Structures are given as C-alpha cells and as structure tokens.
Structure 1
Amino acid sequence: MNEYVLRTNNLSKKYHNKMALNKVNLSIKKGSIYGLIGQNGAGKSTLIRLITGLAYPTTGTIELFGKSNERELVEVRKRIGTIIEGPALYPHMTASENLEVHRLLKGIPGKECIEKTLALVGLQDTGKKKVKNFSLGMKQRLGLAIALLGDPEFLILDEPINGLDPMGVVEIRGLLKKLNQEYGITILISSHILSELHLLATHYGIIHNGELLEQLSAKELNEKCQQYLHIKVDNPNKAATVIERHFATQDFEVMPDGSIKLFAYVDLPGEVSKALTNEGLVIEQFMPMGEDLETYFTNRIGGVQHG
C-alpha cells in the first residue's frame, strides 16, 4: 500500500512570463492533515488547481495514490473531494436538493448518500430551508457535504474558513477533525490564517513566491518553536555547572557568544535567577524567549533571500 496520497516532483507552472510555481517537491502522507501556508499570491491556489486537474503543469509531475500516468490520474481524481474558491451552491434550493444536483453530476448511484452526508456535516434538520437563508458557516458545511459525496479518501480545501465568524470556524475545525480521525480522510488545507491551522494540522508546508520553502510535522515545528530562558552571565561555564548541579538537568545549551539557552524550568525563572545569584554570578541578561508558531512562519516567509 502506498504511504503517500500525494507527491509532486519538480512541479512548475508558468503563466506568461511569471513563474507561479517553481520546482515544488511536496509529499502528503495518508491520514494526515496537511496545512499549506503562504501569503495571498504565494502559489497555493495554483498548486491546488494542478493537483485537481483544473490546470496543467509547465514541467514536473504529480503522483496521486501512487499513480502518475495522465490517464490514471484522471481515474484516481475521482477519489478526491474539493472546495476551491468557495462552494458552488444553488441559493434557491434546499440542502438536499443541492446535494441531489451534485450527486447526478458526479454520477453517484442511489439517493441514500444524501441524508447520510447531510447528517455527517450536521445539516440533516434543515428541511425545506433555502440555502440563501443559511448562515455562512452552514454554507461552508454544505460545501463540505458536496465535496464528501462519493466518500472521497482525500479532501482538498482552499481557504475553507475565510469570512467565517468565530463560531463558524470552531464548527468547521471540529468537523474536519472528525472526518480525519473517525473516517480516515486525508486533508489538504490551504490557508494564510496560521492561528487556526496550528490547531488542526499534523503537517505543514510553507510556500512563498511559488517555492516550497519547508515541510515539517507539527512535532518538528513545536521543537523549532521551543520556549527557553535566555541567560547571559559573567562566567557561562560556571553558570552551566550551577544549572546542571542545582536543577539536575542537562536540557540547556551554551551558545558560541557565551549565552545559555535553558529549555527546562522556563516556568520558574525566579528560582533559576536566584540560584545563579547565590553562586556569585553576575546576571547581564535574563529573559524568556522562543518563537510562537505565527512568528516562525512570518520569519520563514518574510526573511528568505533568493539568490
């Protein structure tokens, strides 16, 4: 069984004289929630259009469910559900009528899937209410229902929480977690709203100016953003000995400039400074440091130099 739902190899797309995507090598493991992060215009939507067959690459290849031949890609794309640039809804129809139209368009046999899918997204009790009278959150859930028709194994969502109020965001987040954890659906979410993605994603890809800068797991990201106490004293070697002896920890690092990063006891700065002072050390700098997730992504996207 193939471990990856999606892999791209040097995937590039050029529009006129502009490279929208440049040699992107992306991989998404089965069962993950992959957050594709970048500013508007970074190349997220172009990448999604290539994956879903709405556009063709200039160079490079796409592999879906282990298949990369163009004829095979057409077939395996039936295993994908998508919401791109907002769900296509009929405002004067009910939720079930909307699903019926899309069921027929997709050639899915039997109507039993409609009630099942509405129940899955929490819209089973909307009855004869027209979609034009739905809240934005309900419309997004209906869009998800349309994407879920046919029981896809891979869900691709382009900016699914744009414009939602806080309650709508919470609803969509809970639904996506349920789809992933209970139904085993792999999810790719494109978004520039990092504060929401970090509550959801298991893996991340950072895209900027058409280039994939980095891929990492949530665990790797948390390690990179680890909090620590930044300590600078008049005698760093003695301070290291004091920390190791007094706090029985080696979870620190002496930097080339003589400063110390103490990863343990971040929540007890008073005790650490007191121990150092009691040993006669002069504290020159002492502060908690470390990036939060938003700062990390901002630095990666904003601080990259292209040669």
Structure 2
Amino acid sequence: MMSEYILKTNNLSKQYKQHVALKDINISIQKGEIYGFIGQNGVGKSTMLRLVTGLAFPTSGSIELFHNAASSELTEAQKRIAAIIEQPALFQNMTAYENLEVHRLQKGIPGRECIEKTLDLVGLEGTGKKKVRNFSLGMKQRLGLAVALLSDPEFLILDEPTNGLDPMGIVELRELIKRLNREKGLTVLISSHILSELHQLATKFGIIHQGILLEELTAKELDEKCKQHLQIKVDNTTRGATILEEKLATTNFEVMPDGTIRLYSYLDDVRNVSKSLTDNGLIIEHLSQNGDSLESYFSRIVGGADNE
C-alpha cells in the first residue's frame, strides 16, 4: 500500500531580501502522523508554516498538499488545513460559544451543531456564560484550537502552541492533541523550540537550524539515539556477544552493523563488563558510556551544524 502523504516539500526555499529564511527544505508528513518541527526561535519554523498555509510564497522549490502541487489545486488543498500561527483572534467580551458562532459565520459553515460538538471536543463544554476575558491561558489556547477545528480540518498546524502555558496547561493541550490524532485521525504539524515537550507527543521529528533541515527522524529513531548504553568494540564481536550472554547473563544488547556492541544493562558496573571480556581473552578496543538526553542530543546536532 502506498503511503498517503499529507505534505511534501521539494527543495523549499524562502528569501527576504538578503536574509535566507529557508534553504532547500525537504520534509514529508504522512497521514496520521504528529510531526514535531524543532528549532530555536528565529531559525525558520514560522516561515515554513506560513508557506504551507499560503500566508507566504516560496522563493523557489515546491509544496505538495494531499498530492496536489499545482498552485490552483494548492489553494483548494489549503482549505483542508487549520492553523494557529499567531495568537487566535478571540473576542474577550463574548463566551466561548459566541466566539465560535462568529467564526462559524465568517467561515460559512452551515448549522450550529458543530459549535457544541467542537466545545465538547476541546473540553470547554461547561463554560456557559463565562466571558473569554476570565478564561485561563490554557482555556484560551483550547478555544483557539476550537476555532481551528470548527471546519473539521484533516491537517492541523500549530506554531509554538504551549508558549506561556503553565505545566498543567501544557499537559492538557498535549493530551488533547493526542486524542484528536487518535480519535479523528487528525494529522498534526507542531513547531516548538523545546524538544522534550514534543518528545511525549510527536511520532516524527524534523530538526531545523538557520533555515536548514539538519535531520528528520522517527520517534523510535530518536529514542534509540538517546538511549543510555555502553558502546563496546572488541577484536571478536561474535565472541564478545557470547561472553555477555554466558558470563554476564544478559541479552539486553545489540550488535550494530559496524560491529560495535551496544549494551543497555550494566551501566553502573563497567568494571565487571571490562573484566569479563578481558578475562576471556578479548582485546577491548573501545568502551564508553553513550546516549544523550533529548536536550543534549538537540544541542549536539545544532552545535555540530554551527561548527561546520
């Protein structure tokens, strides 16, 4: 079965006078993914989202949405997207229901039943006559999300949605996005400068720095790279693996394509590992503890790009 792509970009670039905001960006988002777009502030994340939603136009390269690439088709395809790129326009003196009614009329959505349904979806069904000015920041953020969801989009784009939220608000928003993804099959592109925040949410990541996409990897690949382990290189890999199994009674290791062994146990007993290998006649060429925290992995990737 062919993967169904919601978004594909092909060497997408954007230049403002002398400033290159994006350079040859190639990302692909499949249906049902939660794509975490990670980068420090001011490195091109918002520019990218503006290009996808049609708020700005590329200098070169192309965008494909729902398999549509021609500009006329693209405008039509963009109607299937909902985005919160700047703070959503909310009327402070109105209730949540009244806010959605205004947006429903603006968007020309027939029938009011979508309002109750959407309020229910974002957990604001019990706000009644309470004015938006009396909402917490988390509630306002969920109302903004309700505005975006009113038209029943297939693809949701969120730019730094947790900015200014307290920890509880962040958890609530994260759970809501997960639920929308799970129950409605909504595909989500979400940008943030905090990798750890998206780690519990995204199924795929794109790391951007100075307008360049440094890496694109799945959540599973990221976890593998960040998993703490002992990196072992001995003169006989097969024998080394046998010794780990027989002498240290562990199968919690992987033999990598380059012949190194990643041992995920005995992290706090390196001496025992080293002794078992040498006592059994092996020469240890390399033994170190590896694995990153998410933050240090992100810093290392970004720092490496700065030093090139």
TM-score, structure 1 length as denominator?
A: 0.89
Could you tell me how far 1:150 is from its partner in structure 2? Answer: 1.2
Q: Distance in 1 between matches of 2:294 and 2:153?
A: 31
Q: Alpha-carbon deviations, 1:200-228, whole Å to 9, x = none?
A: 00000011111111111111212222321
Q: Which residue of 2 aligns with 1:14?
A: 15
Q: Distance in 1 between matches of 2:304 and 2:67?
A: 35
Secondary structure of 2:197's partner? Answer: helix
Q: Distance in 1 between matches of 2:307 and 2:103?
A: 44
Count of matched residue pairs: 302
1:120-269 paired onto structure 2 within 5 Å: 120-230=121-231, 240=240, 242-243=243-244, 245-246=246-247, 247=249, 249=251, 251-252=254-255, 261-266=261-266, 269=269
Q: Distance in 1 between matches of 2:286 and 2:67?
A: 53
Alignment root-mean-square deviation, CA: 2.8
Q: Distance in 1 between matches of 2:256 and 2:155?
A: 42
Closer, same or farther in 2 for the Cα pair 1:306/1:276, shift >3 Å? closer
Structure 1, unpaired ranges of 5+: none
Q: Alpha-carbon deviations, 1:102-155, whole Å to 9, x = none?
A: 111111111110010000000001011111100000000001000101110000
One-letter amino acid of the structure 2 residue matched with residue 47 of structure 1: M
1:80-95 paired onto structure 2 within 5 Å: 80-95=81-96
Structure 2, unpaired ranges of 5+: none
Could you tell me how far 1:303 is from its partner in structure 2? Answer: 1.1
Contact kept? 1:7, 1:63, Cα under 8 Å? yes
Contact kept? 1:31, 1:185, Cα under 8 Å? yes
One-letter amino acid of the structure 1 residue matched with residue 187 of structure 2: T
Q: Percent identity?
A: 61
Could you tell me how far 1:60 is from its partner in structure 2? Answer: 1.1
Contact kept? 2:9, 2:64, Cα under 8 Å? yes
Q: Distance in 1 between matches of 2:211 and 2:133?
A: 37
Could you tell me how far 1:290 is from its partner in structure 2? Answer: 1.0
Secondary structure of 1:190's partner? Answer: strand
Q: Distance in 1 between matches of 2:285 and 2:64?
A: 55
TM-score, structure 2 length as denominator?
A: 0.88
Q: Distance in 1 between matches of 2:307 and 2:16?
A: 20
Secondary structure of 1:304's partner? Answer: helix
1:36-47 paired onto structure 2 within 5 Å: 36-47=37-48
Q: Which moved more, 1:144-153 or 1:278-287?
A: 278-287
Contact kept? 1:236, 1:254, Cα under 8 Å? no
Matched, 1:111 2:126: no
Closer, same or farther in 2 for the Cα pair 1:7/1:268, shift >3 Å? same
Q: Which residue of 2 aligns with 1:303?
A: 304
